[in-house]
């Protein structure tokens, strides 16, 4: 077995972009090592929580503090969910007299440094949001375009650990020019900050993102329904070969617990994100989390698959009608296999050894990660399971 008011310093910005574009184009070794980003972060996909999917713009420091508390009290923090990420709408529209962003006084009266200190006191990390444009997507905050250096230094001074960097209101400037400017600024800010590029797969960031960010969105925003979720998975899977430790494909945040899908569909959601080595960023209200949601996002065996040190994203190895087999190698000569039924009726699905890269005569043990049991039989040549509509089975195979 083998194993994305406001006056911008346009001239200096364009000059900087030209320099970066020239240096990037001259480096044909983008895959060999980063030419811009070398922050040592993201050796495994990030895990944590983000405010947008559940709260949108209705956020304040009380919600952020209570979420940090809940990540600890539920045990999710011990499982690896360590980032507490604030999305859009946290800042005043106007910068201060020095050009710095200002937290909104009505919702973040204590300021971001105090909030960062609180989150860090819980053993967690604080993430923040900005945009590689003139305004953020909500148009309620200034973007960082032209202010990359000052914003990066501001974020570092607040103790920020993660930056989600969006793509709205960008003046039509290509993301391949805009995003590297923030990369350089973060590298000079004096603090390691995970850079999550949220450019929606606009210019195929998987092809160039590894030198610029720690993760890159390969899709448009997810919605809390089956069709949206599986379509994001499909779009993300195309770029599987470009994911690796330090740089991950991102099909957007988790919707589990927000109520738009069934429990089985949410299990599929978590299974695909895990086997795809996607960031596991909870998008529900963890202060009021249900038992069903906890059973899904707190599955240690599925989390371990996502966090496997080998860092290889799974691919679809067979598709027939409404069913699919996804597979990818894991450390210690193991293989992850997902049997997925996208249809409306239950159906048997078979994983064949020749699709998985296993010698046909090899006898294999199978561990069911949702049933938490190793199947009593050994398997040779293939493995078949009956899969419910909009359901899945997730196995780890080992000879």
The Cα 339–Cα 133 span in angstroms is 41
Note the pLDDT of residue 325.
Answer: 98
Note the pLDDT of residue 29.
Answer: 38
Residue 21 has pLDDT above 70, yes or no: no
Contact 271, 51 (CB under 8 A): no
Give the count of alpha carbons within 13 A of 306, CB side only: 28
Of the candidates 27, 117, 221, 368, the residue annotated as catalytic is: 221
Residue 87 has pLDDT above 90, yes or no: yes
pLDDT digits (tens, 9 = 90+) for 311-363: 999 999 999 999 999 999 999 999 999 999 999 999 999 999 999 999 999 99
pLDDT digits (tens, 9 = 90+) for 30-84: 333 456 888 999 999 999 999 999 999 999 999 999 999 999 999 999 999 999 9
Neighbouring CB atoms inside 10 A of 387's CB total 22
pLDDT digits (tens, 9 = 90+) for 123-174: 999 999 999 999 999 999 999 999 999 999 999 999 999 999 999 999 999 9
Helix (H) or strand (E) holding 320: strand 315-320
pLDDT digits (tens, 9 = 90+) for 236-274: 999 999 999 999 999 999 999 999 999 999 999 999 999
Q: How confident is residue 17, by pLDDT bands cut at 50, 70 and 90?
A: very low
Neighbouring CB atoms inside 10 A of 199's CB total 26
The Cα 195–Cα 17 span in angstroms is 18
Average pLDDT over residues 191-209: 97
- Of 14-28, 227-241, 295-309, minimum mean pLDDT range: 14-28
Note the pLDDT of residue 28.
Answer: 37
Note the pLDDT of residue 10.
Answer: 33
Q: Is 221 a catalytic residue?
A: yes
Of the candidates 87, 88, 131, 166, the residue annotated as catalytic is: 166
């Amino acid at each position: 077995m083998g194993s994305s008011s406001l006056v911008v310093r346009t001239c200096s910005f364009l000059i900087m972009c030209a320099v970066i574009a020239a240096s990037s184009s001259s480096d044909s070794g983008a895959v060999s090592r980063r030419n811009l980003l070398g922050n040592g972060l993201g050796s495994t996909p990030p895990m944590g929580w983000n405010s947008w999917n559940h709260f949108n713009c209705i956020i304040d420091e009380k919600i952020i503090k209570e979420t940090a508390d809940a990540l600890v009290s539920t045990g999710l923090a011990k499982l690896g969910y360590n980032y507490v990420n604030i999305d859009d709408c946290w800042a005043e529209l106007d910068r201060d007299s020095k050009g710095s962003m200002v937290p909104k006084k009505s919702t973040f009266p204590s300021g971001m440094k105090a909030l960062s200190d609180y989150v860090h006191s819980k053993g967690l990390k604080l993430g923040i949001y900005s945009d590689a444009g003139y305004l953020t997507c909500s148009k309620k905050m200034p973007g960082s375009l032209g202010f990359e250096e000052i914003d990066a230094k501001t974020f570092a001074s607040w103790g920020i650990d993660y930056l989600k960097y969006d793509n709205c209101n960008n003046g039509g400037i290509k993301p391949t020019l805009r995003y590297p400017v923030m990369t350089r600024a973060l590298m000079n800010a004096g603090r390691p900050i995970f850079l999550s590029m949220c450019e929606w797969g606009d210019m195929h960031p998987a092809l160039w993102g590894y030198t610029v960010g720690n993760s890159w969105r390969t899709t448009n925003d997810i919605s809390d329904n089956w069709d949206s979720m599986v379509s994001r998975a499909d779009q993300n899977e195309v770029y599987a070969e470009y994911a690796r430790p330090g740089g991950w494909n991102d099909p957007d945040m988790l919707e589990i617990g927000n109520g738009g899908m069934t429990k089985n569909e949410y299990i599929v959601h978590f299974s695909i994100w895990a086997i795809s080595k996607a960031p596991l960023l909870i998008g529900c209200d963890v202060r009021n989390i249900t038992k069903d949601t906890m059973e899904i996002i707190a599955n240690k065996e599925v989390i371990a698959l996502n966090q496997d040190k080998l860092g290889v994203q799974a691919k679809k190895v067979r598709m027939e009608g409404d069913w699919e087999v996804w597979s990818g190698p894991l450390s210690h000569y193991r293989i992850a296999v997902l049997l997925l039924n996208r249809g409306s009726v239950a159906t048997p699905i078979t994983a064949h050894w020749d699709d998985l890269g296993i010698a046909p005569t090899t006898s294999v043990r199978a561990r069911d990660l949702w049933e938490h049991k190793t199947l009593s039989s050994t398997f040779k040549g293939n493995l078949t399971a009956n899969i419910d509509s909009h359901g899945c089975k997730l196995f780890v195979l080992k000879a």
